[in-house]
Amino acid sequence: MRMAVVSMGCLAALASPFVQARPALGWQVDPYFVEVEANAIDETLHRVYVPRGESAETWTERITLFEQGAEPDSSPRALLDARGEHAADRCADFDQQAVTLPASAPAYIAASLWHCPFDRSTGDGWVKSVLVLQQADRATFMEAEGRYPKHEKSSFPLRKDQAERWWAMQFSLGVCDAWFRPGCQPDAKTLVEGAAASLGPEEQHAIDRIAARGRELYYQDQMAWHATDFALQTGLIDPTIKGHFLAVPNPSGGGYVYFIRDPLLGKPRARRVAFDTEGNLSADAEETGLDPDVAMRYRALKTAKSSKQLKFCGGAVNSAVLADDEGKGWLVYLMSATPEPGRMMLGGHNRVKVSQDGKRVLSVDYSAKSCLSVDTGSGAEEIADGEPAAPEGDKLEYVMVTHLVSEQPWETQVMQSLTFERSMIVITAHAAWRVRGDQVERVKLDADPEATAPAERIGLQPGRAQ
C-alpha cells in the first residue's frame, strides 16, 4: 500500500492509538535521521536517532529522547539548569544559554543551547540543543547533539542546516491532544481498513452536504475543462482576449459553459458550449446575452474575485459558482490550480459566500492554512507498512492530509478524490475521515487523541510514546 502523508506544515510519522493514564507524546521525525535505539526499560522512554548511514556508536549528529523523574513543584527551566550543571563538570569553558521560546509556547516547555569546546572525557568538542517537556512528576528531554574537533570557545561550529533540523524536530514534540499533532495519528491500517463510525442525523446531514458540494465542483470543473479544449480547437474563443468562464450543469444531466466577456458598453456577452446528457459538445453560432440566473451567477463570481481576502498558491485559478445550500445566496469557489499532471493542490482554495443579489461578499473561508500539494503519481513519500516499496512511477492509493480548518473534510477534497481517482484520509483534531470519491465516512477509532500507550509499547512506535 502506498500513501502520501501530507501535514499542513510538516510531514508527520504514523503511530498507533494508545490507552494509559498519562497523555501520549508525539513528535516529527526528520527524514534526515534514522532510529538506532528504542526501548522502554522500567517503562521509561528512550529513543535515539542519527543521520542515515551512521550508527549508534559512530555518528556526527544525534537526537536522544528520554524521560526522567521530576519533582512536581520543579520547573522546566530548573530541570534544564540542573542537567547543564552535570554537563559542565566534564567540560572546559562550558557555556549555557537559555533559548527564548515564542509567546505561544506552553509553560511546561523550556529550551537551552550548550557549548563545550573541549570535553575532558572524550577530547572532542560538542554543541547541544536541549528541550524539556514536563508533565507533573515526569520530564521528557530531547537532546540534539553535534560532535566537532576540539576548538576555541570563540568558535561556534554549529551549522545552520544542523540547527534547522534539530529545532524542527525538537519543537514538534508535544502532547497528543489532537490527532493531527506530529506523530499522534492512528496507524495506517486502521485508517485505511478500519470500520466506519455511525453518525448522528446532524453530522450525517453535514457530510451529505459536503459530498453534494464536492460532486457539483467536480462536474463544473470537468465541464469547464472539456469546454475550454473544445472552444480552443474550434476557434470559438480567442485565448489572447481576457474573459471569464462559468459552468452551469443541468440537474437532469448535461449543461452549459459560458465564455463571457464584458464589452466597454452594454451588457456582458457570451459564447456558449452545450453538453448533452451523453457528454457530446456543441456551440452556439453567435454570442448571446446572459439569462437572469446566469447573469446573477456571473455577478456573484465577479464580486467574489474582487475580494481582498483571497489567498492563492500559484498563478492559475479555477472557479465554480454554486447556489448556497444553507441560504439564498451563492457559494463561489476560487481554487488554486497547476498545469503539472498528477499534482493535487491541497491549499489555496477559497470559498466565498456572496449575497443573493450577487453584490456583497459575506464571508471567505479557506481549505487549508498553508500551500501544500502532493504528486499523486510518483515522487511522493511512501508508507509501506512493512511491505516492499512500490515501483517508482506507481500511483498512490491514498493521500493522507492533516486538516486544521474544520472538524470535517472540505468539499474540495471530495472534488479532488473524484478528479484524481484517489482516496483520501483526512485527519482533523478529533476525527479521521475516509474520502473515496463522493463517499465520505468517519473512521471508527477506539481511543481519543489524548489516550496513551500500554507500558509494554512505550517508545516502540515511530514518533509516538506515552
User: pLDDT tens digits, residue range 228-262?
Assistant: 999 999 999 888 888 899 999 998 899 999 999 88
In the three-class reduction of DSSP (H, G, I as helix; E, B as strand; rest coil), residue 194 is classed as coil
* 4-30: b (≥16 Cβ within 10 Å) or e: bbbbbbbbbbbbbbbeeeebbbbbbbb
CB 144 within 8 A of CB 128: yes
Q: Is 32 left (phi over 0), alpha (psi -120 to 50) or beta?
A: alpha
The whole-number pLDDT of residue 131 equals 96
Cα atoms in the Cβ-side hemisphere of radius 13 Å centred on 431: 17
Give the residue among 108, 187, 117, 98 at the shortest CA–CA distance from 140: 108
The letter for the amino acid at 141 is F
Provide the edge-to-edge strand list for the sheet that holds 269-275. Answer: 244-249, 255-261, 269-275, 281-283
The letter for the amino acid at 341 is P
Q: Is 87 left (phi over 0), alpha (psi -120 to 50) or beta?
A: alpha
Query: Grid coordinates 471508527 are at which residue?
Result: 444
Give the length of the chain: 466
Where do the domains of the chain lie, and which CATH numbers do they carry?
33-171 (3.40.1000), 201-368+403-443 (no CATH)
CB 398 within 8 A of CB 424: yes
Confidence of residue 1 (pLDDT cuts 50, 70, 90): low
The whole-number pLDDT of residue 72 equals 82
pLDDT higher than threshold 60 for residue 380: no
Taking CA atoms, 145 is separated from 65, 67, 174, 276, 344, in Å, by: 11, 17, 20, 66, 38
Cα atoms in the Cβ-side hemisphere of radius 13 Å centred on 301: 22
- Per the prediction, the chain carries an average pLDDT of 85
Query: Grid coordinates 484524481 are at which residue?
Result: 420
Please give the DSSP secondary-structure letter assigned to residue 339: S
The whole-number pLDDT of residue 202 equals 95
Q: Computed from CA positions of residues 415, 420, 421, 422, in that sequence, does the dihedral angle turn out positive or negative?
A: negative
Confidence of residue 33 (pLDDT cuts 50, 70, 90): very high
% of residues, the chain, pLDDT over 90:
61
pLDDT digits (tens, 9 = 90+) for 143-188: 999 999 999 999 999 999 999 999 999 988 988 888 888 788 788 8
Please give the DSSP secondary-structure letter assigned to residue 379: S
Q: How far is Cα 72 from Cα 399, in angstroms, rounded to an integer? A: 42
Torsion, Cα of 201, 202, 204, 206 (10° steps): 160
Chain center to CA of 195: 24
Give the residue among 131, 161, 132 at the shortest CA–CA distance from 146: 161
CB 458 within 8 A of CB 39: no
pLDDT higher than threshold 60 for residue 11: no
pTM, full prediction: 0.75
Angle between helices 201-233 and 411-420 (to 10 degrees): 50
The total of other beta-carbon atoms located within 10 Å of residue 441's CB is 17
